Structure formats: structure tokens, C-alpha cells
Structure 1
Amino acid sequence: MPLSTETAQESFDADWQEWHAAHERHRAHPHGFLAVTHLHWLGSEPARLEGAPGTWSAEDDVVRVVLEAGESLQRDGQELNGAVTLGSIEERGGINLVAGETVIEVAKRGGEYIVRPRNPENGLLRDYQGTPAYSPDAAFAVRGTYEPFEVPRPTTVGAAVEGIQHVYEAPGEIRFKLAGQKLALTAFNGHAPGSLSVLFTDQTSGATTYAANRSLSVVPAADGSVQLDFNRAVNLPCAYTDLATCPLPPAENRLPVAIAAGEKIPYERQDQL
């Protein structure tokens, strides 16, 4: 027997609340991006970095850190001392080192190496009060069709940090209809196997939602059908901190409709409106 409209809405709301609570827990992890205290770009000249032990440099696709007496790092439980060589790291990849309560992220972004200390006592994390979001609305959960390209298309996009670009392999696009309009979104490969990630802006961007980007994860079925639930559109790290290198959406993903669903501008950024 089909659910009544009221019961279906209650179930839809409950599912969203459960999902968003889990997403908030993940976001507020003690060593998540809210814990990032600094963003250091490495060069060939050795330098001390605030928030991390040692003297750091990067050259010939290798990161080097020299730890003085009394300084140490741990990698996968193994203590590192003296002169340490790390590399190479693939683009958008990274490794985590540990120094006391701090996790030291070493990563490659836009062809350059970065170091980002993550400390659970960082004020952004300590004072985090959650992210505002629209009330779930089933009208923004629509069906679409994933259409793979014959050959994945390299797609260059900008970044939240000036001076770097990201290049993604776009395997296809998602076509759907919303607010009476036929629309399409270029999709990138997601983190989970078989998933896709969509970066987009819409007519709420810069007004009630973060101006630069939002992200939506989708999983196509075997027949190419997808569920686009924009109630689950989330902010990227750059919505909270200037220490993030998030990609911007490709030009074709700037939607000409208002998607009043999903996460809104974080409280931390609302004073910048």
C-alpha cells in the first residue's frame, strides 16, 4: 500500500536529517578541514613552517623535511627523525604525518606541494556551530540520466586559491529537468567507486548559498538513471576557510535556475555578505 503524502514527506525529512547529521559529524572531525591552521606552499629553499616541526622544501617532485634534535614526526605509527624524504605524491593526493596532537597534511595541488597542519584546538573547529541549510523539499529531488562521453574529457577549472588550476577527467554529463527547464551538468569521478561528483552554482549562489561552488554526489544505476537530490548539496572546504584549494565548477555548470535546497552560506562567512 503506497505511503500517504504526509507519511512520505515525513520519511523524506527523516532521511535527510539523518544524512545531514552524519555529514556534520564528518565535517567536525578533530583533524578535518576545520582543524587546518595554516596553508604553506613549499619551494626549493628550506624553510621553517608555523604549526609543523622541521625545515621543509620541495624540489624535483620530492618533499624533504629536516628534523632537528628533539623534533620528530610519525608516519603510520613509525617515528621519523633527522632528514626525511617524502614523494612523489600524485596530484590531489596526500599523506598525513603526526606531530603530537597535530596532523600534518602533505599534499600536491595544482602541481605544487603544500603543507597544512591540522590541530583539534583550531578556533574554526572549536567554535563550529553547524551549517545552516534549507528545509528538505522533495521538489528538488529529481530524476536524471547520466550520458557518458565516448572518451573522458580533460576539464580545466579554476580554484579557490588564485594562481592554480585543477584538471579533472570528466567521464560524462547528467541531463535532467528542473523548474521547467532542460539542464545538464558535467560530472567528475567521485571518491567512492561508481560515484560521480558534480560541482555547480545556481541563482542562489552568493545570495543564500556560497558563491563559489557547491557539490553533489550521485551514483548512476546500470541503465544510466540517476537521482539528483539537491537537498544534499554541500559546501566545500573553501566555504569555511581561506586555507582550502577547492576547485570551481566548469562554466557549463553555472545553472540558470534557483536551487533553494541544500546547505547555505556558513555562519562563518555570513559577515562577508
Structure 2
Amino acid sequence: MTIAADTTTTAFESAWSAWHQAHEADRASAHGFLAITALHWLTAEPTAYDGLPGRWWSSEDGPVVELGDGETLLVDGDTVTGRVAFGAIPERGGRVAAFGDVVIEIAKRGGSDLLRPRHPGHPTRSGYHGTPTYAPDAAWAIEGRFVPFDQPVEVTVGSVAEGLQHVYAAPGEVEFSRDGGVHRLTAFNGHTPGSLFILFTDETSGVTTYPANRSLAVAAPGDDGSVVLDFNRAVNLPCAYTDFATCPLPPAGNRLPFAVEAGEKIPHERSAR
């Protein structure tokens, strides 16, 4: 029995380690969010921004840039000049334009268009030392149940960006038991069909984990609604690393009344500020 248990633990830890290494590699990629150097909110007034070609503004049909003589951008693999209209961008959607080794994220958040330049040499990226975590523990992979709403509910949440709000469609709640209590967390639609993600805080928030939020991806529920909440894979959002983020805050009720001593902790860089 002891050998089997040890084998299971090793397999669990190995799977977690492979996942975490891949997550870290994506976070620290050349144009990932650690490379963001600024956050510019576009207005109706054409505006030039330090280090970026052209003058930028937001129109009824989406973001627009007017490039000056000799200025170019690479958009969808094509070199463009003059006036470039990017079209209406959906909420939480985005386009990219590049010049040299800089990528410009052109996005919409909270109903407003924005620019976020991403430079591989930005100190937040070049000085990144990895994110500390709790040691993986299979006890924090908790079985639960997805409880769907009759109809998806629009949930408005705050943001780390002052005055900004986000609206998400919540298909239901995830229910699980811990320490003799039953807990429910509002879940949003995930990145793949049927999957979910949960924004939450807990008793470690602001102590050992980032105070504003952590995020947990949940695989699509089984036919019986069964899910696994693997808090070992609770991760920080971009706001834990950069002040140029617009991350959502957890919905009301998504604060757990116990310490989730699993997943990612406060980044070294944020602790040092």
C-alpha cells in the first residue's frame, strides 16, 4: 500500500510540475504580459504616444492609427502605411501590430479601446525569477459539483483598474465541501467549450498570495455535473506582476473562509515593491 501511495504522489507531482513549467514559459514569453511597458486608453482625439509610431484614436468603427511619413506597422503579416482602421474589437478581444521587436496589443476592456506595447527587453520580463508556489498536494484536488443556473446570468465585477468594470456570463456555480462546510463559487465560461474558470480570494490573500484575486481553471463538468477543483493550479492574473493590467476582481461571494494553501503565491517582484 505504501509503494502504491508513493507512486500516485509522484505521478501527481510530476504532472503538476510539467503543467507549472509550461505555464511559467508562457507567462515569460517574449511578448507575454510581463513585457507590457505601458497602458494607453484611446479617446476620440488623435494622440501620439512615446515610443509608438503614428497617432492613435478610437472611432465608432474601432481603433485607428494614422502613420507618418516613413512609419510602418506589420499587421496580419502585411506591412501597412498611412491610415489603418482595425475594426470594432469585441470586449476582451484584441488585435496586434508590430514594429521591430515590439508588439502592440490593441484591445477592448470595459467598453473602451486601449493600447499595450510589449517589449521583450522590459525589466519586468528580463528580471523575472519565477513565481513561488505552495508544494503540490493531492489533498487540494477537491471533488465538487457544477450547479447550472436556469439561464446564464450576467455578473458585473470590479477591476484592478480604477473605474473599470467587467461583465461576464456565469453559467452556474461550483459546489464543494471542505472542513465540514459546503461552499459555492460563481463560475464563468472558460477558454475551451464547456470549461469554466473561477476568480476567488481566501484567507491567504494579502498574506502569502496576491490580495486582489487568483484564478482557477476547471475542466468541463461530467454528465453528472462532477468537477475537480485542483487548487494546486490556482494562478496569479497579470495584475500580480504589472501595473498595466485590467484584471477583474472576484464576484461577491467568491471569498473562501479558509486558507487555500495551494497554488501560486505573491510574486517575488511584487513582494519587493
TM-score, normalised by the number of residues in structure 1: 0.97
Give the equivalent residue in structure 2 for 1:263: 264
SS in 1 for 2:125: helix
Task: Give a deviation string over 1:67-109, Cα, whole Å, max 9, x none.
Answer: 0111111111111100111220001100011111011100000
For 1:175, give the aligned amino acid. E
| 2:86 is equivalent to residue 86 of structure 1 | yes
For 1:128, give the aligned amino acid. Y
Task: Give a deviation string over 1:104-134, Cα, whole Å, max 9, x none.
Answer: 1000000100000011111110111100000
Q: CA shift at 1:197, angstroms? A: 0.7
- Percent identical among aligned pairs is 56
- Cα distance in 1 for partners of 2:25, 2:217 equals 18
C-alpha contact (below 8 Å) 1:38/1:50 kept by paired residues:
no
- Cα distance in 2 for partners of 1:252, 1:119 equals 37
CA RMSD of aligned residues (A): 1.3
Q: Provide the aligned length of Structure 1 versus Structure 2.
A: 272
- Cα distance in 2 for partners of 1:222, 1:33 equals 36
Give the gaps of 5 or more residues in structure 1.
Answer: none
CA distance 1:3–1:224, shift in 2 (3 Å): farther
Give the equivalent residue in structure 2 for 1:148: 148
Moved more, 146-155 or 78-87: 78-87
Give the equivalent residue in structure 2 for 1:7: 7
- Cα distance in 2 for partners of 1:53, 1:181 equals 56
Please list every run of at least 4 consecutive aligned residues from structure 1 whose deviation after the TM superposition is greater than 2 angstroms. none
- Cα distance in 2 for partners of 1:192, 1:240 equals 25
TM-score, normalised by the number of residues in structure 2: 0.97
Give the equivalent residue in structure 1 for 2:255: 254
C-alpha contact (below 8 Å) 1:153/1:170 kept by paired residues:
yes
For 1:133, give the aligned amino acid. T
1:22-37 alignment to 2 at 5 Å? 22-37=22-37
Task: Give a deviation string over 1:195-253, Cα, whole Å, max 9, x none.
Answer: 10100000000000000000000011222100100000000000000101010000110
- Cα distance in 1 for partners of 2:231, 2:118 equals 30
Give the gaps of 5 or more residues in structure 2.
Answer: none
- Cα distance in 1 for partners of 2:2, 2:61 equals 59
- Cα distance in 2 for partners of 1:267, 1:61 equals 41
Give the equivalent residue in structure 2 for 1:65: 65
C-alpha contact (below 8 Å) 1:37/1:51 kept by paired residues:
no
- Cα distance in 2 for partners of 1:259, 1:40 equals 35
